[in-house]
Structure 1
Amino acid sequence: MATKILKFSGHNYFRQRLVLATLSGKTVKIDKIRSDDNDPGLKDFEANFLRLLDKVTNGSIIEINYSGTSVLFKPGIITGGKIIHDCGTARAIGYFLEPMIALAPFSKDPFNLTFFGITNDNVDLSMDIIRTAVLLQLRRFGIEEGLELKISKRGAPPLGGGEVNFKCPIVKALKPIQFTDEGRIKRIRGIACCTRVSPQNTNRMVDAARSVLNRYIPDVYIYTDVYKGEESGKSPGFALSLVAESTTSVLITAEQAANPGETPEDIGRRTAKLLLSEIRKGGCIGSPNQWLMLLFMVLSPEDVSKIRLGQLTAFTIQYLRDIRDFFDVTFKIKQDAESNTLLLTCVGVGYINYNKKTT
């Protein structure tokens, strides 16, 4: 019997479809990748991501046509282990690390990944947000012991030079979640970092952010993280990441990195306003992390999982459609008129990591 191939068009949602294919074991074909562009086909960073996917799996088959506008991916087994990968400078490390977080718990061996590249920019999630918010959310699904992200060197765009190490334990199965109580914001924490510029820039970012946030809440503490010499990468830069925590351990995030010509005060105020905007949307998880929580709900045991979200991003809406295609799971979505939030409910597929030997 021929294996059914799931077909998609275009370069959008490229990573998520490859991750869903890997987890579901389904072959996927993506065509018309920038076929009408002056520079058609896969970009360097997409080809680089395919190389990483090949490293963390065994037996995967990747076929790219001559023009690079079509990719056929037949997934193998997630093997993990110790891997070193250069992410280049076209996209930040977050572009590569985010999908790995989705795959890591279901690997044969625990992931021990070392990445080189850009640690903070305005396109992909920074290492600070992944470390202080994304990884903490995994605890709800029972992924705790040995989960670690270490930033050895920071790397600002355009030249990067950062180095991070990601470790993740493996699990036999996830836990279902009931995450619907938003609670009230009780404190805001943050990290202001800089590389190859005056350390004073971090203090200026902190002061500017506090001037906005202290009107909202008194408990605001922002750490300054100054990297020097070898650990400061190859380019000057500064960035700020903020995390608001509620009484029920909801984590809402915002971050910004400096563009050329911007002052630390610009970054401080802008990031603070972004955070307040995210908080206003409501829900138990910030916009950038919606997809990971929904994916793990689907992979949970055959039980009901429930989560409260603010507005669904366009990315999340497409992700829900892709989840239906790969796992045949649909979410029940109910509007809560009182809080203007959405309650999303699904029954997990009972995903078991057969690679993990029972102890």
Structure 2
Amino acid sequence: MKMDSAALEIDGSVMEGGGQILRVSAALSCITGSSIKITKIRAGRSTPGLRPQHLSGLQLVSDLCSGGLQGASIGSTDVSLTPGKIQSGNHTADTQTAGSVCLLLQVALPCALYADAASQLCLKGGTNAEMAPQVDYTVKVFKPIVEKFGVHFDCDIRMRGFYPKGGGEVMVTVNPVKELQPVVMTERGNITKIHGRAFVAGVLPFKLAKDMSAAAVRTIRKEIKELYINIQPHQEKDKASGNGNGILIIAESSTGCLFAGSALGKKGVYADKVGIEAAEMLLRNIRHNGCVDEFLQDQLIIFMALAKGTSRIRTGVVTLHTQTAIHMAEQLTQAKFTITKCEDELSSNVNYIIECQGSGATNPHL
């Protein structure tokens, strides 16, 4: 396949300088049909270039859009994608490591929306992995919010996989859309419900799950006294490969906003500490009075950019991941973003409105 001479050059070392640039630019290349060449991939990282999960993500997108991929090998710092037609049907991606299935979904989901029929994605790797959303977050927080844009997908967790072995498997069915709706989330209302799940898998004792849960509840109680907090301890039986423990806590607001705090256990770290870490993250995400947490923020940018019309989302401090996603979306689509600081009398904490005039991408097959 010849490289299109008009490929858009993307500097993979700018801003956040990591896998996010790859995910957003590859997905948008696939949807818009424009060829891209990404250089200096992860240039500043301790192990520069493509890691297994980035490589399998790019291969998945290329597979989804019957594209041509050049330079796609572990450690490669330059890669080119020439997209073809987006294909529905069955697609498999396997990181063969504990590389996150949720990051694979981040790159593939937007593409599959613009196919001619439903797609089945079989994603293998880590379901509850460091440096990425846990699969429970994807199902319980990300999914209900992206549904507001008109995105519909089902996620069946067949097997959980943890660091370092991976071995997890998630089956995702994505329905295509004609076009995405814009979303406005600017009023948080008040927090009405806090619930969660603390799990242990493999040889780890159930007591760890109870300890994580109890420590998390104690920590949240110090700040939020009036709500019932229900964090269920859980022993993963048949659906887990390897050993792991972790916790995800979700807060819901009266206007349907969702916030989370999560943490994973590591060797030599007390269960209490894992619970406290997740609880503190949740409290941090609630304090700013925005409508999304710090991890949802950057994941919504691509949908805002593709939607037809103006989306507005109130957030806490705008993260570098989000700024990077905006930078990529503006390069690859006609979307225009503005970020405005809000002077909020209710909250001493700063918050911002991210507004986007979406590009209104339509699905040519529907």
- What TM-score comes out, normalization by structure 1 length? 0.90
Equivalent residue number for residue 5 of structure 1: 8
Quote the offset at 1:314 in angstroms: 0.5
Distance in 1 of aligned mates of 2:271 and 2:46: 37
Equivalent residue number for residue 255 of structure 1: 262
Q: Against the structure 1 CA distance between its residues 3 and 204, is the aligned structure 2 distance closer, same or farther, given a 3 Å change threshold? A: same
Distance in 2 of aligned mates of 1:32 and 1:312: 25
Amino acid at match of 1:79: Q
Residue-by-residue CA offset, 1:97-140 (whole Å, 9 max, x unaligned): 22223223222221211222211122111110000010111221
Quote the offset at 1:64 in angstroms: 1.0
Equivalent residue number for residue 345 of structure 1: 355
Query: Please, what is the CA RMSD of the aligned residues?
Result: 2.2
Distance in 2 of aligned mates of 1:295 and 1:34: 20
The residue correspondences of 1:118-197 to structure 2 (distance < 5 A) are 118-144=126-152, 147-196=153-202, 197=204
Distance in 2 of aligned mates of 1:42 and 1:214: 43
Distance in 2 of aligned mates of 1:300 and 1:37: 33
Q: Against the structure 1 CA distance between its residues 192 and 27, is the aligned structure 2 distance closer, same or farther, given a 3 Å change threshold? A: same
Q: Against the structure 1 CA distance between its residues 304 and 32, is the aligned structure 2 distance closer, same or farther, given a 3 Å change threshold? A: closer
Distance in 2 of aligned mates of 1:232 and 1:37: 31
Distance in 1 of aligned mates of 2:143 and 2:69: 29
Quote the offset at 1:293 in angstroms: 2.1
The alignment partner of 2:77 has SS state of: coil
Q: Against the structure 1 CA distance between its residues 223 and 102, is the aligned structure 2 distance closer, same or farther, given a 3 Å change threshold? A: farther
Distance in 1 of aligned mates of 2:9 and 2:41: 15
Quote the offset at 1:286 in angstroms: 1.2
Mapped contact 2:52–2:99 kept (Cα < 8 A): no
Equivalent residue number for residue 275 of structure 1: 282
Q: Against the structure 1 CA distance between its residues 355 and 223, is the aligned structure 2 distance closer, same or farther, given a 3 Å change threshold? A: farther
The alignment partner of 1:259 has SS state of: coil
The residue correspondences of 1:53-72 to structure 2 (distance < 5 A) are 53-58=61-66, 60-64=67-71, 68-72=76-80
- What TM-score comes out, normalization by structure 2 length? 0.89
Q: 2:219 aligns with which of 212, 219, 227?
A: 212
Amino acid at match of 1:219: Y
Equivalent residue number for residue 288 of structure 1: 295
Q: 1:314 aligns with which of 308, 320, 324?
A: 320
Equivalent residue number for residue 89 of structure 2: 81
Distance in 2 of aligned mates of 1:159 and 1:97: 19
Q: 1:332 aligns with which of 335, 338, 363?
A: 338
Equivalent residue number for residue 223 of structure 1: 232
Quote the offset at 1:65 in angstroms: 7.9
Q: Against the structure 1 CA distance between its residues 201 and 14, is the aligned structure 2 distance closer, same or farther, given a 3 Å change threshold? A: same
Mapped contact 2:336–2:358 kept (Cα < 8 A): no
The alignment partner of 1:163 has SS state of: strand
The alignment partner of 2:252 has SS state of: strand
Amino acid at match of 1:182: R
Q: Against the structure 1 CA distance between its residues 187 and 327, is the aligned structure 2 distance closer, same or farther, given a 3 Å change threshold? A: same
Quote the offset at 1:2 in angstroms: 5.6
Mapped contact 2:57–2:108 kept (Cα < 8 A): no
Distance in 2 of aligned mates of 1:45 and 1:36: 18
Distance in 2 of aligned mates of 1:347 and 1:305: 7
Equivalent residue number for residue 30 of structure 1: 38
Quote the offset at 1:9 in angstroms: 3.8
The alignment partner of 1:333 has SS state of: strand
Equivalent residue number for residue 94 of structure 1: 102
Mapped contact 2:185–2:291 kept (Cα < 8 A): yes
Q: Against the structure 1 CA distance between its residues 39 and 351, is the aligned structure 2 distance closer, same or farther, given a 3 Å change threshold? A: closer
Report the more deviating stretch, 267-276 or 101-110.
101-110
Query: Which sections of structure 2, spanning at least 5 residues, go unmatched?
Result: none
Quote the offset at 1:143 in angstroms: 2.9
Mapped contact 1:121–1:256 kept (Cα < 8 A): no
Distance in 2 of aligned mates of 1:27 and 1:190: 42
Mapped contact 2:160–2:167 kept (Cα < 8 A): yes
Q: Against the structure 1 CA distance between its residues 289 and 39, is the aligned structure 2 distance closer, same or farther, given a 3 Å change threshold? A: closer
Distance in 1 of aligned mates of 2:45 and 2:150: 44
Mapped contact 1:44–1:90 kept (Cα < 8 A): no
Q: Against the structure 1 CA distance between its residues 64 and 206, is the aligned structure 2 distance closer, same or farther, given a 3 Å change threshold? A: same
Residue-by-residue CA offset, 1:232-279 (whole Å, 9 max, x unaligned): 20x211000111110001011121111111122111111101110111
Query: Which sections of structure 1, spanning at least 5 residues, go unmatched?
Result: none
Q: Against the structure 1 CA distance between its residues 33 and 287, is the aligned structure 2 distance closer, same or farther, given a 3 Å change threshold? A: same
Kindly tell me the number of residue pairs found equivalent between the two proteins: 350
Instruction: State, as a whole percentage, how many aligned pairs show the same letter.
Output: 25
